[in-house]
């Protein structure tokens, strides 16, 4: 058993599970076809997914994570964010009254729609926010067709 008191650990776990239940969507599902979980680790970064006409953008909150400690892969339509936030303290360190910041590894996976251009995906990290830009294929963008008489 650890020596520090983490009063919000169980509450944070419950919040993550509730969020996971409401996050599933057909295009950006958080579970595999057999229901396996696609998010795991010691902590999970909060993620926003935005769709524009020509791209998707994923924002992941990763404060305290060095960009060198982030691994992003794309394989068979599955985008994987994997990383590690180093521990801020040690168990025998004196003076800590409360520790609420999570550390350790994280893993998030997203099934991408087949409309994305996987060759042009880009990522950058600034001020603790990871931004992934995932362009759509030109052929998959919405086109209006005029009706003539």
52-56, 88-92, 143-147: the lowest-pLDDT one: 88-92
pTM score of the predicted model: 0.65
The reported pLDDT for the residue numbered 28 is: 47
pLDDT band with cut points at 50, 70 and 90 for residue 47: very high
Q: CA neighbours within 13 Å on the CB side: how many for 8?
A: 9
pLDDT band with cut points at 50, 70 and 90 for residue 27: very low
Burial 15-27 (b: 16+ CB within 10 A, else e): eeeeeeeeeeeee
pLDDT band with cut points at 50, 70 and 90 for residue 72: very high
Would you list the domain boundaries of the chain?
9-137
Strand order in the sheet with 70-75: 39-41, 104-111, 78-85, 70-75
In the chain, which residue ranges form alpha helices assigned H by DSSP?
9-23
* Fold of the domain spanning 9-137: Immunoglobulin-like (2.60.40)
């Amino acid at each position: 058993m650890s020596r520090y008191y983490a009063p919000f650990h169980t509450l944070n776990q419950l919040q993550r599970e509730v969020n996971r239940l409401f996050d599933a969507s057909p295009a950006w599902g958080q579970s595999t076809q057999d229901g396996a979980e696609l998010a795991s680790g010691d902590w999970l970064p909060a993620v926003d997914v935005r769709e524009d006409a020509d791209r998707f953008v994923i924002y992941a909150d990763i404060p305290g994570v060095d960009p060198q400690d982030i691994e992003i892969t794309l394989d068979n339509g599955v985008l994987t964010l994997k990383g590690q936030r180093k521990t801020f303290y040690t168990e025998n360190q004196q003076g800590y009254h409360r520790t609420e910041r999570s550390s350790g590894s994280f893993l998030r996976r997203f099934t991408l729609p087949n409309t994305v251009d996987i060759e042009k995906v880009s990522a950058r990290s600034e001020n603790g926010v990871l931004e992934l830009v995932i362009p759509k294929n030109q052929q998959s963008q919405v086109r209006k067709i005029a009706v003539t008489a």
